[in-house]
Amino acid sequence: MVATPIGNLEDITLRALRILREVDLIAAEDTRHTRKLLSHFDIHTPLMSYYKEKEASRAQEIVARLLSGQQVALVSDAGTPGISDPGGILVQSAQAHDILVVPVPGASALATLLSVAGLIEPTHLFLGFLPARGVERRKLLRGLKNEAHLLVFYESPRRITASLADCLAELGERRVVIGRELTKMHEEIISGDLGQLLAELTAREAIKGEFVVLIEALRASAPQRPDNLEDLLRWYREQSGVSLKDAVTSIARDLDLSRSEVYQKALAVWKE
């Protein structure tokens, strides 16, 4: 299991380069992407595609090669295989056949941002990529609103604003650190209140690059989200970045109430 750079090619380790030259085969999430890396370091080891949709069948083929005496390196497009990338099925299959699985550590977007975030929580909860569907994403976040650990997740440029809006609605205002395009030419690390960063990203004409998001743990003194309709509307009103429309939609869904009923109450509360 060989970690590869998440952006800057200089971040690959000497050990990783040696292993990629010595093995009989490299299984890669995207052979086109990995071929560029190998070409840069003048490595000519044969490649096999190993992506999510073909992971189970490819794992069987790779295990057969391993049992025949070959050595295989697995790489993802960037970072460490098996962390929000294919790899788990192959590891399980190999271990089931008593095949030694060796980690070759290196770059990780998670560790990269944690190291410069300046957050002092001793523990964190890594969520990988949040669910793509809004309903599932909000349900997950709702269950984490009282979590005492720093929350960390990956997100795509297509969903970053929707995910941050759901975080604000379900978790409330918190300090956030966001990393984009880490170790690459256009690397960006920004921090601030969740509502502030949501507004900043929403205002951009275009959003590019993969994101890592760190959200601080629930503070002991942080006010809990109320369950009473009118108090809940007032709570949403105080959250910067949440509109009346967003509040009505969330509350109607969470409390299983008529949207028109919640909207009438919201109009009165917003005029207070």
For the chain, domains (ranges, CATH) are: 9-96 (3.40.1010.10), 109-215 (3.30.950.10), 229-271 (no CATH)
| Interstrand relation of 25-28 and 47-49 (parallel, antiparallel or unpaired) | parallel
From first to last of the 272 residues of the chain, give the pLDDT tens digit: 999 999 999 999 999 999 999 999 999 999 999 999 999 999 999 999 999 898 999 999 999 999 999 999 999 999 999 988 999 999 999 999 999 999 999 999 999 999 999 887 778 999 999 999 999 999 999 999 888 899 999 999 999 999 999 999 999 999 999 999 999 999 999 999 999 999 999 999 999 999 999 999 886 544 556 667 888 888 888 875 678 888 888 888 777 788 888 888 888 888 88
Residue partners of 119: CB distance under 8 A and separation at least 6 = 150, 175, 177, 214, 216
Among positive and negative, which fits the CA dihedral 151, 233, 158, 27? positive
Residue with tokens 């379900």: 170
| pTM to 2 decimal places | 0.76
CA pair distance 163, 132, nearest whole angstrom? 9
CA pair distance 166, 144, nearest whole angstrom? 12
Please compute Rg for the chain using Cα positions.
22
**Tokens, residue 113:** 């941002």
Secondary structure percentages of the chain, helix, strand, coil, to 5: 45, 15, 40
Quick check: 31 and 47 in contact, CB under 8 A?
Answer: yes
Q: What are phi and psi of 213, to 5 degrees?
A: -120, 130
CA pair distance 9, 89, nearest whole angstrom? 27
